[in-house]
Structure 1
Amino acid sequence: MNLEIDHYADAVLVSVDDSRIDASVAIQFKDSMRALTSGGPKRVILNMEKVDFLDSSGLGAVVAAMKQLDANQTLELAGLTENVAKVFRLTRLDAVFTIHQNASDAVAGLADV
């Protein structure tokens, strides 16, 4: 599981550099997210533009990543592909997460660190 991170003054952008978040990488994804976001800025933006497949384990890992954030942090999603967006709609988790069209929209107006 490859995750790339970009820091901004008020946010961190975590980009998934794999096409799948499924049972084979769910635990690694959750652990990596914890390590990258612990004690970080208020906004954590997960860029999923390269993810074309998300199974129930992957969905659970994304929810777990949200739940393990500090109380003052939020997890936002960006760049959902059609297949992944459909999973969030079907499970009604699109109402739980702030979802941005793409990473550029999510970080618009934020200053680089």
Structure 2
Amino acid sequence: MSLTSTETADSRIITVNADRIDAAMAIQFKEDMRNQTDGSPARVILDLSSVSFIDSSGLGAIVASMKQLGEGRRLDLAGLTPMVEKVFRLTRMDTVFRLFATLNEALEDNPN
């Protein structure tokens, strides 16, 4: 699993450089997310624009990553492909995460 990150004034952007998040990589994803978000700003944006497939293990890994951020921090999701967005909507995870069509839309939405 390859994650890269950049930081803006108030957010850390973590980009998933893989086409799938599934059972085979869920544990590594959680560990990589923990490393990437340690000491990050309160807002983390996960750029999923390269991800075309996610299964329940991948979804669970993203939820676990959100929970490990702790109180007062949040994980927003950007760039969901139609199939990945469908998984989030079918599982009602769109009520847990803020979903943005593009990374730029997520960056323009500054709630602070």
TM normalised by structure 2 equals 0.94
1:6 corresponding residue in structure 2: 6
Deviation at 1:58, TM superposition (A): 0.3
Report 1 or 2 for greater relative contact order, CA contacts < 8 Å, sequence distance ≥ 6: 1
Structure 2 gap segments, 5+ residues each: none
User: Following TM superposition, by how much is the alpha carbon of 1:99 offset from its aligned partner in structure 2, in angstroms?
Assistant: 0.7
> How many residue pairs are counted as aligned between the two chains?
110
Q: Report if aligned partners of 1:20, 1:51 keep a CA contact under 8 Å in 2.
A: yes
Instruction: State the partner residue of 2:18.
Output: 18
What does the per-residue CA deviation read over 1:2-22, in whole Å, with 9 as the maximum and x for residues that have no partner? 111011110000010100000
Report whether the alignment pairs 1:106 with 2:109: no
Within 2, Cα distance between the matches of 1:73 and 1:36?
14
The residue number in structure 2 matching 1:41 is 41
- Work out the CA distance in 1 between the residues paired with 2:47 and 2:71: 21
Give, in angstroms, the shift of residue 107 of structure 1: 1.5
Q: Percent identity?
A: 51
**Residues 52-67 of structure 1 correspond to what in structure 2 (within 5 A)?**
52-67=52-67
Name the counterpart of 1:82.
Answer: 82
Runs of at least 4 residues of structure 1 off by over 3 A?
none
Offset from partner CA, 1:25-72 (integer Å, 9 cap, x none): 100000010111022101000000000000010000000000000312
Partners of 1:7 and 1:109 lie apart in 2 by 16
SS at match of 1:13: strand
Partner of 2:69: 69
> What amino acid is aligned across from residue 17 of structure 1 in structure 2?
N
**CA distance, structure 2, for counterparts of residue 85 and residue 12 of structure 1:** 21
